[in-house]
Amino acid sequence: MFHGRGAAFLERGRKGRFAPGDQRFPFTKSEIRRMIYLEEMAMDRAMAEKHLQQAREHVALGEMHLARQREILAELTHRGADLTEAKRLLTNFEEFQVIHLAHLDRLKAELALPRGAA
Determine the average pLDDT of the residues in 80-107. 94
pLDDT, residue 116, reads: 47
When mean pLDDT is compared across 5-14, 83-92, 106-115, the lowest value belongs to: 5-14
pLDDT band at 106 (very low <50, low <70, confident <90, very high): confident
pLDDT, residue 46, reads: 81
Q: Do 55 and 100 contact (CB within 8 A), yes or no? A: yes
pLDDT band at 45 (very low <50, low <70, confident <90, very high): confident
Residue 44 to residue 49: CA distance in whole angstroms:
9
Residue 118 to residue 114: CA distance in whole angstroms:
9
- pTM (predicted TM-score): 0.62
Residue 108 to residue 50: CA distance in whole angstroms:
12
Say whether pLDDT at 11 is over 60: no
What is the residue-averaged pLDDT of the chain? 79
